Amino acid sequence: MTASCHITIAIVLLKGRNFMQLERLVRMIFYIVSHKQVTAKELADYFNVSTRTIYRDITTLTLSGIPIISKKGSGGGISLMDGYALNKSFLTTEEQVQVYQGLQILQASNYPDAEQALNKIGALFDQPLLDDWLEIDFSYWGSSDDEKITIADLRRAITQKYILTFEYFNSELQHSERTVDPLRLIFKSHAWYIIGYCHQNQGFRVFRLSRMKKIHVTVETFERVLPDGFSLANSSYGAGYTSFKLQFSPEMSYRLFDEFQEQQVERKDDGNYLVQVQYQYPLNEWTYHRLLSFGPYVKVIEPVEAQQELKKRALKIANKYE
C-alpha cells in the first residue's frame, strides 16, 4: 500500500476525533517525517501535552495505518518505518519547486507559520531548506525600521479585520490622512494596491501602496465585506486616464524598460524611442511631474493638451533663470 493511501486511511479513521486532537495528530505525522527520529518528551514539549497523551496519539496513528516505530533505550525514539515516505508523485518536479518557492516568498515577507509550512513541504518533497534568497519590504528606500510594513502586517489587518490608518498622497500630489477598512491586497501592473472602505470618502476606494505612508494597523475592528464582483476594472481608480504617445532620446533608454512595458517601447531608425501607452496616465500633476523628470529627453506627441501644458511649464522653468 502506498504512503498516500496510508495518509488517506489515517485521515478517514481519525475523523471521529475532536478537531484539536485531529490537528495535533496530523501535525505530529509531519513533525516526525521532517525530524526523522524524535522522543516522546520532545513531542510533548512541542505540542504542550503530557508524554502519556503522546503515547496515546502514537497508538492512534499506528492503528490508523501510519507505520510508526517506537524504540526504547539509548539511541531510541519515535520514527517512521525505514523506507517509508509520503507519496509525492501527484506533483511534477517543477510543480514541487513552484510550491516550495511560493512558501519561501511567504517566509521572506514574515508570513506567520511560513517556516513551519516549509518544514512540512520539505519533508513531503524530500527537499532541504534553501538559503534565504528573497526579502519583501513595502517601505521606501531609506525608511527607518519602524516604517517598514510587510505582507504579514497587511494580511493580519485584512483577515482579522483591523482598521488601517495612514497618510496618503494621491495622483494630484494632495496629502490626506485616511482611515480605511482593508478588504483586499492585490498586485497589478508593477504595483501593490489596497482595496478598502474609506471612512473619509464613505465609499470603497483603491489605494496604491507606494503612496501610503506611516501605515498603522490599529486594534479597532470592522465587519464590512467587499461587494461581490468588485475589482480594479470596475472601480473609479482608472477613471479619466488618457493615452500617450511619447518620443524619448537615446539618453533615456536606461529608464524606459524600468517604467514601461516592453511592448510599449519601439526603437526607431534614428535611435530615438517611441513609447505608446493606452489609458495608463491621467492629465494631472503627477503625470506632468513625471514627464518633467525626463528633462529635455522627452517630447510629448499626443495628447495635444499634455504637449501644450508641458511646454508652458518648461517655459516657466526657463524664465526662472533669465
Per residue in 57-78, pLDDT (tens digit) is 888 777 766 778 888 777 778 8
Residues of the chain with pLDDT under 70: 1-23, 64-65, 82-147, 171-173, 189-190, 231-240, 279-280
CA distance 96 to 134: 18
Amino acid (1-letter code) at residue 202: Q
Best CATH choice for the domain 145-234 from the list 2.30.30, 1.10.3470, 3.90.1010, 1.10.260 = 2.30.30
CA distance 287 to 209: 18
C-alpha grid cell for residue 62?
Answer: 499506528
H helices within 3-112, ranges in order?
3-14, 19-35, 40-47, 51-63, 93-108
Q: Which helix (H) or strand (E) holds 319?
A: helix 304-319
pLDDT at 237: 54
Per-residue b/e over 197-236, b at no fewer than 16 CB within 10 Å? bbeeeeebbbbbbebbeebebeeeebeeebeeeeeeeeee
Q: Quick one: pLDDT at residue 198?
A: 93
Topology (CATH level 3) of domain 3-80: Arc Repressor Mutant, subunit A (1.10.10)
CA dihedral sign, ordered 275, 280, 281, 283? positive
Class of domain 241-319: alpha beta
Q: At what angle do helices 19-35 and 3-14 cross, to 10 degrees?
A: 160
pLDDT tens digits for range 194-250: 999 999 989 898 888 888 888 899 999 999 888 877 766 555 555 567 889 999 999
- Contact present, 202 and 178 (Cβ < 8 Å): no
Residue-level pLDDT at 122: 59
- Kindly state the cell numbers that stand for 104: 519561501
Given a contact cutoff of 8 angstroms between Cβ atoms, the answer to whether 33 and 43 are in contact is: no
**Domain locations along the chain:** 3-80, 88-136, 145-234, 241-319
Beta strands in the chain (DSSP E): 37-38, 68-71, 77-80, 162-169, 175-188, 191-198, 203-208, 212-221, 241-248, 265-267, 273-282, 298-302
Looking at residue 289, its pLDDT comes to: 84
Look up the pTM and report it: 0.45
Contacts from 157-161 at CB under 8 Å and sequence distance 24+?
Answer: 157/182, 157/217, 158/182, 158/183, 158/184, 158/185, 160/221, 161/221, 161/222, 161/223, 161/224
**Residues listed for the chain:** 322
Greatest CA separation found in the chain? 92
